Amino acid sequence: MELGPKNQKPHSLKHQMRHDSLFEFHLDHTVHISQILWSKTYGG
């Protein structure tokens, strides 16, 4: 019975890490776009 949880843990951890990096990428992308819009609207 010990094998089950041991096998599941690394998988969910890897999935969580991938999700975090995707979220960070999305956040950076949003910030980048708002910076471009800001410089277009207010001239830098």
| Residue 39 pLDDT | 93
CA atoms within 13 A on the CB side of 3: 0
Q: What is the pLDDT of residue 33?
A: 92
Please say if the pLDDT value at position 2 is more than 60.
no
Query: What is the model's pLDDT at position 25?
Result: 85
CA distance 42 to 4: 57
pLDDT for 15: 73
Each residue of 4-22: pLDDT tens digit?
555 555 567 777 777 788 8
- Distance separating alpha carbons of residues 39 and 22, to the nearest angstrom: 26
